[in-house]
Structure 1
Amino acid sequence: MIAAVAMPLRLTAAIAFRDTRKYSTGMRNLLTLAILLLSTANAAAWNALGHKVIADIAWQQLNEQSRAEIVRTLRRHPRFDDDFAKQMPSDVDENRWIFQQAAVWPDIARGKAGFDMPTWHYVNIAIGRERGFNFVSKPVGKAEEWNIIQAIAYCRKVIASDATPSQKALAYSWLFHLVGDLHQPMHSTALFSERFPDGDRGGNSIPLVQGDNLHSLWDNLLGRQHRANDLKREIAELKARPELWKVEPGDAGLWLQESHKLAKEFAYCPEILEATRQPGELAKIRLPASYLKASGEHARYRVVAAGLRLGMLLGGSAEPVEAEAEPVREFDFAAAAKPTPRPMSLTPSTPATSSLAHWLNTNGNVRHNSGCRWYHNTKSGRACSASEGKACGQCGG
């Protein structure tokens, strides 16, 4: 029915990957976050809590019929008995839990022969040095070498095809997971330099004081626990922030572009770039408290966006998965590969020319410039452009 479906449907009992990227969000307060990050080890792109939050946001957009149909298919997953049924707590909404577990499954499948697809979790857009790209957005060639954009396109085609329920269950699990991964900035980008001629593996090679490395820090911003109560509390806190829920649907190309922009202009901050330029062994980098606070806000926005967009793909409040899915938007890799200027600073000396050089107080939707006393100093907020929000009455925004 769809040519691409025939290709790697040995993925039938074989769709999985050991994640090299991860995603997550949240922080009760800065001290709690700092303690949490000190104990983080390598996790998986947004970690389990992040992926379950994303899946649950999508679940809440679907009607009962859509939920039932998807869960009925997920029950035909080739690893359902071991990775779903045997892991299920006794005191949960069974169908909802299965839906959430599907989003985590590609990380559970790490190292399992025939299921592990490491490259599906990310694509490395270079920053730091000009670099050529052999990037293909459509699923062609060997499935084991696909990037995240190719894998998402493939999963959508399988779901919309006459593939078997087992094949579709694998495709659903991967789609849930990869939409989440694509919204984690460290799954879109790698730093190339003299120190990292082959790239820094999406931040995995950059050690931090506050956590294991840059990648795992971003994976675990929501927290490490993923019990039912933690999940409910996180969802409730996100729902109490209406400004988080204004999301442009877009497509995988747009989502990738957003993540790369966030990585390039925020995640790889001056402290990181300066430390990696120094000779000798790379010591653990201490990030400023303002970075941790702002990264938590960015992560919340990305997790909510991922959940809403996944729901739309599944037929929620926007476009459903269709038999002939829209072609994936081509990303401008030539532009992305240009040498990267010093990214946005987190101090009041931030150049006003940075596209995310302002601070948005998300409670009042008020924009502050780098000279304002409220810059990075509001209860809730995030980095923003000069066109977002209302200008501060004191600094002029």
Structure 2
Amino acid sequence: MRLLLNAVVLVLALLPAPCGAWNGPGHNVIDLIAWEQLDEATQASAVALLKAHPRYEQHFLGRMPENVWSGSPAEQEQWLFAHAGAWPDLVRGRSDVVTDDDVRRYNRPTWHYINLPVFLTPADRDVLAAGLKVNRSTDIPDDRDAYSINVVQAIGNALRIVRDEEAPTQDRAVHLCWVLHLVGDAHQPSGATTARRMREGRAGSAAAKPRGAAAAGASGRRPNARVARGPASPGPPSPSGRRR
């Protein structure tokens, strides 16, 4: 499994790609790194909890590769832990193992991101801040299955449920997957979005097309990039004393 991890890291490092959200292998690598930081007792507890997942047979065993099936128990446990971190993306849409009911029950689109504005000037803040519709709260809601929370709130909520030994075991298993997934999402490299998307409260940077050098491609041409700003600040005085 260590050889597999090294190979995946090497492939991710060498393949050029547009700046975007983590994909399945990206989450797998993140979670394998986390796995190696855990002691054996914690690893065993995590695997035991994941096996209580309500869709364990369909979404986990049903996706286990043949080479892992034929591998050692230790390799299978590593794979289960790594796959758990990609599971919330698996249930975004219907597939060979995911039903429409799975999507309705488990998909939480806004849990994957948070939109935090960066204003270029204080004038921009004055003009734009009041019109932003995005959820920037970091408060953990009382409702443990709140649908429209952001990634910061969702991480806190998922940790609360995983740590609650009185919570249903299946719920704790589902939210362990969310913890593993969302910590990766919160550190993904496409951490910016356009001002227009911010104003409209749209779905984070993962859905935004890259701009600048990443979007220029092999031609090296820089695409037009617009940044929403507040009122233009006066330029430096001209030699005549007038503002430009």
The reply to whether TM is greater than 0.5 is yes
- Partners of 2:51 and 2:213 lie apart in 1 by 40
Local SS of the residue matching 1:73: helix
- Partners of 1:190 and 1:208 lie apart in 2 by 10
- Partners of 1:338 and 1:138 lie apart in 2 by 29
The 1:199–1:206 alpha-carbon spacing in structure 2 relative to 1, beyond 3 Å, is farther
Amino acid at match of 2:33: I
- Partners of 1:158 and 1:81 lie apart in 2 by 22
Q: TM-score, normalised by structure 2?
A: 0.65
Q: Which residue in 2 is equivalent to 1:126?
A: 117
Aligned length: 187
Structure 1: stretches of 5+ with no match in the other structure: 1-24, 218-270, 279-336, 340-397
8 Å CA contact retained: 1:127, 1:192: no
8 Å CA contact retained: 2:211, 2:225: no
Q: Which residue in 1 is equivalent to 2:200?
A: 198
Shift of 1:95: 0.8
- Partners of 1:78 and 1:59 lie apart in 2 by 22
The 1:100–1:338 alpha-carbon spacing in structure 2 relative to 1, beyond 3 Å, is farther
Q: Which residue in 2 is equivalent to 1:69?
A: 45
- Partners of 1:73 and 1:82 lie apart in 2 by 16
8 Å CA contact retained: 1:127, 1:191: no
Q: Which residue in 2 is equivalent to 1:147?
A: 150
Cα RMSD over matched residues? 3.4
8 Å CA contact retained: 1:126, 1:191: no
- Partners of 2:189 and 2:200 lie apart in 1 by 19
- Partners of 2:40 and 2:115 lie apart in 1 by 38
Q: Which residue in 2 is equivalent to 1:383?
A: none
Q: Which residue in 2 is equivalent to 1:136?
A: 137
Q: Which residue in 2 is equivalent to 1:375?
A: none
- Partners of 1:68 and 1:157 lie apart in 2 by 20
Bigger radius of gyration among the two:
2
Structure 2: stretches of 5+ with no match in the other structure: 1-10, 69-74, 94-102, 232-244
The 1:205–1:59 alpha-carbon spacing in structure 2 relative to 1, beyond 3 Å, is closer
The 1:137–1:199 alpha-carbon spacing in structure 2 relative to 1, beyond 3 Å, is closer
- Partners of 1:167 and 1:160 lie apart in 2 by 11
Q: TM-score, normalised by structure 1?
A: 0.42
Local SS of the residue matching 2:110: helix
Residues 1-397 of structure 1: pairs in structure 2 closer than 5 A? 26-28=12-14, 32-33=15-16, 37=17, 45-92=21-68, 93-111=75-93, 112-127=103-118, 129-130=124-125, 131-132=129-130, 135-140=136-141, 143-161=146-164, 162-186=166-190, 188-193=191-196, 197-198=199-200, 201-202=204-205, 204-206=207-209, 275-277=224-226
Shift of 1:27: 2.6
Higher helix share: 2
Q: Give deviations 1:301-327, integer Å, cap 9, x for gaps.
A: xxxxxxxxxxxxxxxxxxxxxxxxxxx
- Partners of 1:185 and 1:175 lie apart in 2 by 18
The 1:164–1:196 alpha-carbon spacing in structure 2 relative to 1, beyond 3 Å, is closer
- Partners of 2:230 and 2:85 lie apart in 1 by 34
Shift of 1:67: 0.7
Q: Give deviations 1:270-293, integer Å, cap 9, x for gaps.
A: x56xx2229xxxxxxxxxxxxxxx
Higher strand share: 1
